[in-house]
Amino acid sequence: MAEFTMELNDDQKQVRDWIHGFAADVMRPAAAEWDEREETPWPVIQEAAKVGIYSLDFYAQQFFDPTGLGIPMAMEELFWGDAGIALSIVGTGLAAIGVVANGTEEQIGTWIPQMYGTPDDVKVAAFCSSEPDAGSDVGSMRTRAVYDQAKDEWVLNGTKTWATNGGIANVHIVVAVVDPELGTKGHASFIVPPNTPGLSQGQKFKKHGIRASHTAEVVLEDVRIPGSCLLGGKEKLDERLARAHERARSGGGERVKNAAMATFEASRPAVGAMAVGTARAAYEVALDYAKTRTQFGRPIIDNQGVAFQLADMRTQIDAARLLVWRASWMAVAGRPFDSAEGSMSKLFASEVAKKVTAQAIQILGGNGFTREYPVERMHRDSAIYTIFEGTSEIQRLVIARTISGMPIR
């Protein structure tokens, strides 16, 4: 087990600089265009695939970094480039995490490569959990999966929403209710293969930020998938449901995490790293601007009102990164989040990103309010971090329940 460290090793620095170069040379020049177009930046994704950033091998290497810092380092640099394009590049990863967290070795080997495609024919994947009436309240999920034993098929019906790559994905991972009596413990995850009849894209959302990332509803109407597409397999599901029923009859027992929560818990520090990247990008723009913009015969950074803001911005960014790195190291080291450290990292970094990008606009003044400068886009993009994969309010609830041991509502 690697010791916790606050210093990247030489190999990690080399990877970081490589990703940073791609972000600076390919993503940033394209950011404003794809934000305005509000379309998936397929050419940029293809460029990422050609250099090896959009690939299963790349994410596997970062995921299995023994220090735990590979993924947060990569996320920070990509989202430093541009949040919307970066989410288009890494959005497939959430679906991949869902398969790795809940699937068998055969499912992992079969489906994850199909999520990415090849550099000449790139594909994307979608993780579908939220519903119109079930976002933070996963217990209200209505999408049903019913097993047809005669055909060894699962039949899915329902509507998912806020799905990154929803409807345009090659592979969809769908969380559905298999046993309504068990509430969230009666959920399971399913693989919907390419071109499966009954799956369609619903509304595509016109968003405030991350507009280069495709977000849409996914409609499931009598979607039939093979029994082998249940993540983890039916035997494992039946055993889990039986244990849950037994605990319900006995009035308690150990807590069981559902499939969606297992995915979100694994990804929260990575989302924190995304927020750090956006905050750092805005801070750097503001710092450069403050050093070169002159008013009353001197650079505006000579004024304490500006300089102190920048000092606070940098301090908060570094603090957020340390929380993300701690949680990432704890996860890879197998340390339990006894104080909800994963949620802490996501909560703090998300709030920092919103605050820092707003301060950057203030430092740039009227220029910061225009689309001629990128901080306006960064501020719009930052709003998503306190919302997706668990709102800030939900993170606080998780932390409060964890540190108190009480069923706080």
What are 64's two structure tokens?
């299995």
∠ at Cα 29 (10, 60), nearest 5°?
40
Residues β-bridged to residue 117: 122
Comparing C-alpha atoms, which of 129, 118, 135 is closest to residue 158? 129
- What whole-number distance in Å separates Cα of residue 192 and Cα of residue 64? 27
Catalytic residue list: 389
Amino acid identity at 260: A
CB 390 within 8 Å of CB 343: yes
Give the integer Cα–Cα distance in Å for 40 and 165: 9
Give every CB contact of residue 183 below 8 A, 6+ residues apart in sequence: 139
Give the integer Cα–Cα distance in Å for 166 and 95. 11
- 8 A C-beta contact, residue 397 and residue 405: no
Distances (CA, A) of 17 to 12, 24, 112, 259: 9, 10, 27, 35
Q: What is the CA radius of gyration of the chain?
A: 22
Assess contact for 328 and 72: CB atoms under 8 A.
yes
